[in-house]
């Protein structure tokens, strides 16, 4: 199944490290970061799940729930969590889906045969409270993810959902933003961007972040 930005994230019911889990019901009215791992008891994944656990306060501030997945069993996840917490000095406070039958991996196209015929690649989806897919990133098996970038993108998505702006390259919270080309009426510009703007080119109009 090929998923595109704006598609509804497929629902599923599957075992997990916290018991039977119905995805949409579990997600509630939160944003979700759903990310897959090749296998339990692997080094790169151990560091990634430890980092995700440590970022829980940052996710909470953004109304985001994290949920991981691999094709191992729930019992395996439970044992692996002990290693993660010991080696990464944290507490894993989010579920790990036990996708032993690869149902979820198939729904989300997480198995790429040229990488592995059985293991999921490092797929990551940011899903909004309307259950729409807003971001997809796929990393190779050998490369750990940059979760600072995930937080940055969530900040940008939440900002642009509330305000008529776009974010420039390397933008981070507090930086100037861009007035979209769809906004041309001078009165509307004055109303929406009362802090004013600079325009190095007519199509490039920068304004201070509206909610700062």
Label residue 9 left, alpha or beta by phi (over 0 means left) and psi (-120 to 50 means alpha).
beta
Tell me how far apart the alpha carbons of residues 60 and 123 are, in angstroms, rounded to a whole number. Answer: 22
Query: What is the rounded radius of gyration, in angstroms, for the C-alpha atoms of the chain?
Result: 19
For this structure, is 8 an active site residue? no
The single residue of 9, 32, 34, 45 carrying the catalytic annotation is 45
Closest CA to 66 of 154, 181, 160: 154
Instruction: Please measure the distance between the N-terminal and C-terminal CA atoms of the chain and give it in whole angstroms.
Output: 40
- Tally of CB atoms within 10 A around 58: 15
Cite the active site residues.
Answer: 45
């Amino acid at each position: 199944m090929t998923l595109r930005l704006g598609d509804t994230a497929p629902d599923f019911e599957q075992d997990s490290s916290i018991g039977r889990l119905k995805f949409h019901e579990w997600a509630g009215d939160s944003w979700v970061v759903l990310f897959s791992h090749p296998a339990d008891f692997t080094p790169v994944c151990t560091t990634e799940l430890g980092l995700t656990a440590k970022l829980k306060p940052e996710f909470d501030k953004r109304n985001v729930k994290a949920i991981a997945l691999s094709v191992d069993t729930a019992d395996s996840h439970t044992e692996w969590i002990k290693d993660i917490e010991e080696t990464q000095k944290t507490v894993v406070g989010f579920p790990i889906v036990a996708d032993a039958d690869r149902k979820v991996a198939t729904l989300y196209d997480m198995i790429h045969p040229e990488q592995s015929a059985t293991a999921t690649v490092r797929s990551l989806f940011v899903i909004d409270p309307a259950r729409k897919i807003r971001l997809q990133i796929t990393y190779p098996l050998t490369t750990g993810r940059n979760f600072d970038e995930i937080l940055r993108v969530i900040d940008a998505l939440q900002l642009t959902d509330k305000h008529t702006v776009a974010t420039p390259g390397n933008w981070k919270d507090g930086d100037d933003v861009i007035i979209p080309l769809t906004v041309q009426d001078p009165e509307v510009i004055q109303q929406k961007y009362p802090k004013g703007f600079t325009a190095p080119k007519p199509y490039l109009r920068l304004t201070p972040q509206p909610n700062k």
